[in-house]
Amino acid sequence: IEALLPYGIRVTLHDVAIVASAAVLVVGLHVLLQYTDLGRKMRAMADNPDLARVSGIRTKRVKLWTWVIGAGLAGAGGVFLGLFNQLSPRMGFNLLLVIFAAVILGGIGSVYGAMAGGFLIGMINQLTPFFSNVVGALPIAPNWLERLLESLISIEYANAIAFVIMVAVLLIRPNGIAGEGAT
């Protein structure tokens, strides 16, 4: 796989397996939310919990299943993270702000927006070193500009760059990428 990718990008079979597993979970969540009775009830409760309750939906059971599914997905995410990093009790704490940024960027109340926001933040974080190398190889910029851009677009600032892009998107779309307008 590595021979097919330019610029020294390295992708292992381990990485492909994790991405494929995550894709299966995302498609499974989509199928659950769109094509099952439980998904219909979850969406009804997300829109209006009181109306869902008076229309006969057992809200306590739906809440229970929502928590079970959410915990299962969070557990799968933790396993995927553990495959990349050394396990420690606080390993998820470092990602908390990034996860929050992804949800805000995607739009509060939108599952698909949160997925898109997470994908966008993840791509920004992972491609920051690549952009640093590309900027350093630009022959047209003066040396002082190259050094400035290399220092600004470095791996240390990957999360900061993601937050700056989040703020820029929120200035244009205050409800996030897929957030619903205020009613």
Considering the domain architecture, whether residues 84 and 120 belong to the same structural domain is answered as no
Averaged pLDDT of the chain:
81
Please report which confidence band the pLDDT of residue 146 belongs to, taking 50, 70 and 90 as the band edges. low
Question: pLDDT at position 34, please?
Answer: 93
Last residue of a domain, one of 26, 55, 88: 88
Considering the domain architecture, whether residues 46 and 100 belong to the same structural domain is answered as no
Give tens-digit pLDDT for 29-63.
999 999 999 999 999 998 899 999 999 999 999 99
Considering the domain architecture, whether residues 96 and 183 belong to the same structural domain is answered as yes
Range of the domain at 16: 1-88
Please report which confidence band the pLDDT of residue 95 belongs to, taking 50, 70 and 90 as the band edges. confident
Considering the domain architecture, whether residues 105 and 61 belong to the same structural domain is answered as no
Mean pLDDT of 113-127: 83
Give tens-digit pLDDT for 165-183.
888 888 888 888 776 654 4
Considering the domain architecture, whether residues 80 and 113 belong to the same structural domain is answered as no
Considering the domain architecture, whether residues 69 and 144 belong to the same structural domain is answered as no
CA 142 to chain centre: 36
Mean pLDDT of 112-117: 84
Considering the domain architecture, whether residues 102 and 82 belong to the same structural domain is answered as no
Last residue of a domain, one of 88, 110, 127: 88
Please report which confidence band the pLDDT of residue 141 belongs to, taking 50, 70 and 90 as the band edges. low
Considering the domain architecture, whether residues 107 and 141 belong to the same structural domain is answered as yes
Number of domains present in the structure of the chain: 2
Last residue of a domain, one of 42, 65, 88: 88
Considering the domain architecture, whether residues 159 and 100 belong to the same structural domain is answered as yes
Considering the domain architecture, whether residues 78 and 25 belong to the same structural domain is answered as yes
**HEC secondary structure over the chain:** CHHHCCCCCCCCHHHHHHHHHHHHHHHHHHHHHHHCHHHHHHHHHHHCHHHHHHCCCCHHHHHHHHHHHHHHHHHHHHHHHHHHCCCCCCCCHHHHHHHHHHHHHHCCCCHHHHHHHHHHHHHHHHHHHHHHHHHHCCCCCCHHHHHHHHHHCCHHHHHHHHHHHHHHHHHHCCCCCCCCCCC
Buried b (16+ CB within 10 A) or exposed e, 21-46: eeeeebeebeeebeeeeebebbebbe
Considering the domain architecture, whether residues 98 and 84 belong to the same structural domain is answered as no
Give tens-digit pLDDT for 2-15.
556 666 677 788 88
Question: pLDDT at position 166, please?
Answer: 81
Q: What percentage of the chain has pLDDT greater than the value 90?
A: 28
Considering the domain architecture, whether residues 129 and 79 belong to the same structural domain is answered as no
User: Considering the entire predicted model, what is its pTM?
Assistant: 0.72
Of residues 120 and 140, the one with the higher pLDDT is 120
